[in-house]
Chains A and B, each alone.
Chain A
């Protein structure tokens, strides 16, 4: 199975900060990567698919980049509603796998 390693596992940031989360795949997955946001007690919400395509309705401050094995989720200016846990997920091959998550907390 393809392993996804997210870093950092947690971070503290302030409103307005630029935040970058990385996801590294154990083997090449082309651009078959998605990013999700999850808030406590809620289902995950799709933010980015195909590594860099913004899901409809998601604010443009979220962006994704990368291909092959190295991927990045960037929040250009962190907003209060962005404090949550973020997961990457690969859909290049089964079994589908998720990264371990990155918790974004308020500094």
Chain B
């Protein structure tokens, strides 16, 4: 059974940092492209970042470029999101999501809440 489990969310002050993790199981993690997608409270879905299966290709949304860093450790079946210079508008539930071969996201984690507030 495919499982994606996020962790690392919490309350952080504006300007602070947080590192999210996503533990994958039930599939060959190293063969799949992965993403982070977020959802602010009561709002819609916003794609945040993409990483290829090898980690060689990375994309970011303009809203997080220069502040967030996506990475993966295929030996540990894990995906990460390092978030720096956090702002109030980064407050959201953060989901990790696996890419189907065509770019749709076929499996999602349960999400981890990040709250940026003083």
Interface residues of A (CB under 8 A from B): 1, 32, 34, 36, 38, 43-46, 49-50, 55, 87, 89, 91, 94-101
Contacts and interface: CB of A to CB of B under 8 A. Distances in A.
Interface string B15-38: 000000000000000000001010
Given A44-B45, A91-B102, 16 more contacts: A34-B103, A34-B104, A38-B45, A43-B108, A44-B108, A49-B100, A49-B104, A87-B45, A89-B45, A89-B47, A89-B105, A91-B104, A95-B47, A95-B59, A99-B44, A101-B44
Interface of B: 35, 37, 44-47, 50, 59, 61-62, 95, 100, 102-106, 108-111
Nearest to B111: A43
Given A46-B100, A89-B45, A94 B106 contact: no
30 contacts: A1-B62, A32-B103, A34-B105, A36-B105, A38-B45, A43-B95, A43-B108, A43-B109, A43-B110, A43-B111, A46-B105, A46-B106, A49-B102, A49-B104, A50-B102, A50-B104, A55-B104, A87-B44, A87-B45, A89-B47, A91-B104, A95-B47, A96-B47, A96-B103, A98-B44, A98-B46, A98-B47, A99-B44, A100-B44, A101-B44
